[in-house]
Amino acid sequence: MATHDDLIPKAPWRAIHVTDGDWDAADPALLGTMLTELHLIRAFEEKVLELAAQGLVHGPAHSSVGQEGGAVGSILPLRSSDHINGSHRGHHQFLAKSLVHLAPQMEPRATFGEPVRELMQKTLAEICGLAQGYCKGRGGSMHLRWLEAGNLGTNAIVGGGAPLAAGSAWAHRHAGTADVAVNYLGDGAVNIGSVLEAMNIAAAWKLPLCFFIENNAYAVSTHVDEVTAEPRLSSRGLAFGIPSWKVDGMNPLAVHLAMEEALAVMRSGDGPTIIEADCYRYFHQNGALPGSAFGYRSKEEEASWRARDPLEMVAAKMQQRQLTGEDEVAALRSRCLTLMDDVAAELLEKVDGKTRIIPALWPPAEFRDVGIRGDLSEFDGVRYEELESFAGAIVEDEKYIKTVADVMHRRMSQDPRIVIMGEDIHRLKGGTNGATRGLSTEFPGRVLGTPISENAFCGLAGGIAMDGRFLPVVELMYPDFLWVAADQIFNQIAKARHMFGGESDMPLVMRMKIAMGTGYGSQHSMDPAGIFATSVGWRVVAPSTPFDYVGLMNSALLCRDPVLVIEHVDLYNGKGPAPADDLDYFIPLGKAKVVRPGTAMTILTYSAMVAPTLAEVEASGFDAEVIDLRSLDRAGLDWETIEASVRKTNNILIVEQGSIGTSYGGMLADEAQRRLFDWLDQPIQRVHGGEASPSISKILETAACAGKDEIADGLRRVMRDQGRLIAAE
């Protein structure tokens, strides 16, 4: 008969409770600060609900009323240089972190200073979508960011902030500080992959990151017991070796003590922690009605939690120690309400008996797209080169893949901020293709082999980029994995700058190789250009020669925006011109290149389709002009070069390899016909692959991808449809 041993989890999992002795021993100044912050946040949230009820908050108002204790208790032991982020329900954490930054100690009897008043107004203004808000009204309630105070930015994607916070924690650790990051999340968020992936990577890499779970038992109307067999959510730590605490989140002192214990772990370099705080939101998911009004919970349950209100608890404990009195608490409450009335009044006016936002406070409509990308001023004064005018020595037949590794080697040796990450990039002589060859031995600690957690490591890189002390380069093994990491790549990295007000840089480089033709089938064979180029925020480059790779990679690394560098297996194995010893020049983001002048048509193409296009043009005898686009994103398309060509040729053929569904050419054709319609003699023609993603079977794969035959056919079509005789037909 089999025998069993009980296995002991690697990390402790404990409930923490406070005693009367703890309350008696608590520093009076700490309790006074707690009480003041709790009241300020409560009054703030009540004002938000009041404005929401009057229709003055556009979008949801996810109030934290009832949950203030967890935020205040956990944030008071933090310092300004510690970072936090949270979710859609984040006002209380944002305010608590900002208050600790502005006024580490608050005296319940003192009048509020101007900085606190300004905090309240700017936060309220942001929630109302007004220009004076922290994110100029762009972020609203769900995207509150104030980096100076350590607020990285709240998130409307449940769990989406966890990988970003891991990036911040990585930056703290790698910079050699003892600072930490705290990711606030709900019980619902514990079940999403981003969070579980982030827990794993944070533990594997010993990142100083606290996952602070506000377990209010509901995700909208769904009870935690319905969606997990282990509703004690701090148990998740057991799976990852993360020390975890379960604590009464209505008790700010208990939470404070739990966070102090967690900080001792994190600040001493022992990795992440989890704190699960049991708490309750008094109202529904959003707005001022209780949850019971929607039938998913009872009035009795609500009353039982309200009876344990954190504001009342702290006040009662302080009164027991005669640190305050009922009148003083009432006076504090009244000063908080007056403060909120005052700051709200400055945003509002009454017209015909109706309250409205003062019109002058809205951001102007022209602000709509401002700050999607940076202004590229970081390129001022750099040395641009083109192969044709390059004064240095050229190696005519350099392997493209060697240049990929060489230029990164050069940049990493010059710039200690660069850190690269991806699956297996630290082994196998430079990852699966040799693109990072030699780097892990040369730069230990800066070449990170990641777990297979695309969402987590892409988001972690995003968090590093937003932190700004380091410069992340991410390799995605195959482009199709972008769907796995889509939230971090598109919702987080791409949107952050614009969403947070248009000024927060996101300097990050992502590399991926197109692998069509390798037989890796439907899930490894996409061209990512179309998806990235239509996902505003990304810049996209596709160098087709080793020489261009050097200049464009250098530009990608200098740019303050996220840049996708598209590579291709066909290029890796091919050879082309490369600089013999100069790896320091740039090629502008936004500069296409005419690689063959001609008059019969303009062919727009990129990456590994440039060479076969040139070959087919020569074979056809048609005098086509071929443009290697090089920069593919909407802001990077070089319309000057394209327009000059089309004015001459009056015909466009777009050549790409991949399938039509997510193709790049659709966006390009749309943009081109709007701009160049007057110069066109016929509709824009396109060469592209089939509808389905390429299959593994060699014949079917060849049929699915555009190649030399399709290009030749495209050339003939353009000639035929412009009515020019074709000798062969």
**What residues are labeled active site?**
454, 524
Kindly tell me which of 224 and 313 has the beta carbon lying closer to Mg ion. Answer: 224
Least distance to ligand TPP, CB of residue 120, Å: 22
Least distance to ligand TPP, CB of residue 288, Å: 15
Q: Does 187 bind Mg ion (CB under 5 A)?
A: yes
3-state secondary structure of 122: helix
From CA 706, how far away is CA 693, in angstroms rounded? 12
CB–CB of 513/423 below 8 Å? no
Cα dist from 499 to 56, 94, 156, 492, whole Å: 20, 17, 11, 9
Least distance to Mg ion, CB of residue 213, Å: 9
Residue 158: contacted member of Mg ion, ligand TPP, none (CB under 5 to 8 Å, by partner type): ligand TPP
Least distance to Mg ion, CB of residue 569, Å: 45
Q: 């020390």: which residue's tokens?
A: 243
From CA 629, how far away is CA 633, in angstroms rounded? 10
CB–CB of 293/237 below 8 Å? no
Residue 156: contacted member of ligand TPP, Mg ion, none (CB under 5 to 8 Å, by partner type): ligand TPP
Angle (CA) 201 202 204, round 5°: 60
Binding mask 71-90 for ligand TPP (x = CB under 6 A): -----------------xx-
Kindly tell me which of 231 and 502 has the beta carbon lying closer to ligand TPP. Answer: 231
From CA 324, how far away is CA 376, in angstroms rounded? 56
Residue among 220, 227, 264, 428 that touches ligand TPP (CB under 6 A) = 220
> Which letter, b or e, does each residue of 591-611 get, where b requires 16 or more Cβ atoms within 10 Å of its Cβ?
bbbebbebebbbbbbbbbbbb
Residue 167: contacted member of Mg ion, ligand TPP, none (CB under 5 to 8 Å, by partner type): none
Residue 194: contacted member of ligand TPP, Mg ion, none (CB under 5 to 8 Å, by partner type): none
- CB count, 10 Å around CB of 29? 13
Binding mask 186-205 for ligand TPP (x = CB under 6 A): xxxx----------------
CB–CB of 561/591 below 8 Å? no
Residue 157: contacted member of Mg ion, ligand TPP, none (CB under 5 to 8 Å, by partner type): ligand TPP
Residue 220: contacted member of Mg ion, ligand TPP, none (CB under 5 to 8 Å, by partner type): ligand TPP
Residue among 85, 154, 216, 613 that touches ligand TPP (CB under 6 A) = 216
Give the residue among 602, 606, 717 at the shortest CA–CA distance from 652: 602
Kindly tell me which of 276 and 527 has the beta carbon lying closer to ligand TPP. Answer: 276
- CB count, 10 Å around CB of 185? 28
Least distance to Mg ion, CB of residue 248, Å: 16
> Which letter, b or e, does each residue of 148-160 get, where b requires 16 or more Cβ atoms within 10 Å of its Cβ?
ebbbbbbbbbbbb
Kindly tell me which of 150 and 310 has the beta carbon lying closer to Mg ion. Answer: 310
Residue 40: contacted member of Mg ion, ligand TPP, none (CB under 5 to 8 Å, by partner type): none
**Both structure tokens of 401:** 């893949």
Least distance to ligand TPP, CB of residue 281, Å: 6
Residue among 209, 219, 313, 496 that touches ligand TPP (CB under 6 A) = 219
- CB under 6 A: which stretch of 110-118, 214-222, 270-278, 288-296 binds ligand TPP? 214-222
Helix or strand run (H / E) with residue 558: helix 546-558
Least distance to ligand TPP, CB of residue 276, Å: 12
Residues 300-339 that bind ligand TPP (CB under 6 A): none
**Both structure tokens of 455:** 């969402």
Instruction: Count residues binding ligand TPP (CB under 6 A).
Output: 15
Residue among 108, 160, 186, 551 that touches Mg ion (CB under 5 A) = 186
Kindly tell me which of 286 and 525 has the beta carbon lying closer to ligand TPP. Answer: 286
From CA 602, how far away is CA 599, in angstroms rounded? 8
Give the residue among 132, 262, 147, 158 at the shortest CA–CA distance from 210: 262
Kindly tell me which of 189 and 529 has the beta carbon lying closer to ligand TPP. Answer: 189
- Rg (the chain; Cα; Å): 29
From CA 483, how far away is CA 693, in angstroms rounded? 14
Which segments of 579-707 does DSSP mark as H helices, in order? 610-620, 639-649, 665-676, 698-704
Residue 715: contacted member of ligand TPP, Mg ion, none (CB under 5 to 8 Å, by partner type): none
Which position's Cβ is nearest Mg ion? 186
Kindly tell me which of 447 and 494 has the beta carbon lying closer to ligand TPP. Answer: 494
- CB under 6 A: which stretch of 126-134, 166-174, 211-219, 678-686 binds ligand TPP? 211-219
Residues 133-192 that bind ligand TPP (CB under 6 A): 156-158, 186-189
Kindly tell me which of 156 and 361 has the beta carbon lying closer to ligand TPP. Answer: 156
Least distance to Mg ion, CB of residue 289, Å: 17
Give the residue among 326, 284, 280, 278 at the shortest CA–CA distance from 303: 280
Amino acid at 619: A
Kindly tell me which of 157 and 387 has the beta carbon lying closer to ligand TPP. Answer: 157
Residues 547-576 that bind ligand TPP (CB under 6 A): none
β-strands 273-278, 244-248 pairing: parallel
Residue 169: contacted member of Mg ion, ligand TPP, none (CB under 5 to 8 Å, by partner type): none
Kindly tell me which of 126 and 187 has the beta carbon lying closer to ligand TPP. Answer: 187
Backbone angles phi, psi at 71, to 5 degrees: -65, -50
Residues 213-232 that bind Mg ion (CB under 5 A): 216, 218-219
What is the three-state SS of 264-327? HHHHCCCCCEEEEEECCCCECCCCCCEHHHHCCCCHHHHHHHHCCCHHHHHHHHHHHCCCCCHH
Give the residue among 467, 479, 469 at the shortest CA–CA distance from 422: 479
Q: Does 633 bind Mg ion (CB under 5 A)?
A: no
Instruction: Count residues binding Mg ion (CB under 5 A).
Output: 5
Kindly tell me which of 153 and 472 has the beta carbon lying closer to ligand TPP. Answer: 153
Helix or strand run (H / E) with residue 564: strand 562-568
Least distance to ligand TPP, CB of residue 427, Å: 33
Amino acid at 520: Y
Least distance to ligand TPP, CB of residue 355, Å: 28
CB–CB of 607/658 below 8 Å? no
Rounded to 10 degrees, the C-alpha dihedral 444/482/175/266 comes to -110
Residues 2-61 that bind ligand TPP (CB under 6 A): none
By the 10 Å C-beta count (0-12 exposed, 13-18 middle, 19+ buried), 382 is classed as middle
Residue 189: contacted member of Mg ion, ligand TPP, none (CB under 5 to 8 Å, by partner type): ligand TPP
Backbone angles phi, psi at 348, to 5 degrees: -120, 160
Q: Does 486 bind ligand TPP (CB under 6 A)?
A: no
From CA 419, how far away is CA 306, in angstroms rounded? 49
Least distance to ligand TPP, CB of residue 498, Å: 19
- CB under 6 A: which stretch of 215-223, 253-261, 398-406, 562-570 binds ligand TPP? 215-223
Least distance to ligand TPP, CB of residue 191, Å: 9
Kindly tell me which of 142 and 476 has the beta carbon lying closer to Mg ion. Answer: 142
Residue 293: contacted member of Mg ion, ligand TPP, none (CB under 5 to 8 Å, by partner type): none
Residues in contact with Mg ion by CB under 5 A are: 186-187, 216, 218-219
Residues in contact with ligand TPP by CB under 6 A are: 88-89, 156-158, 186-189, 214, 216, 218-220, 285
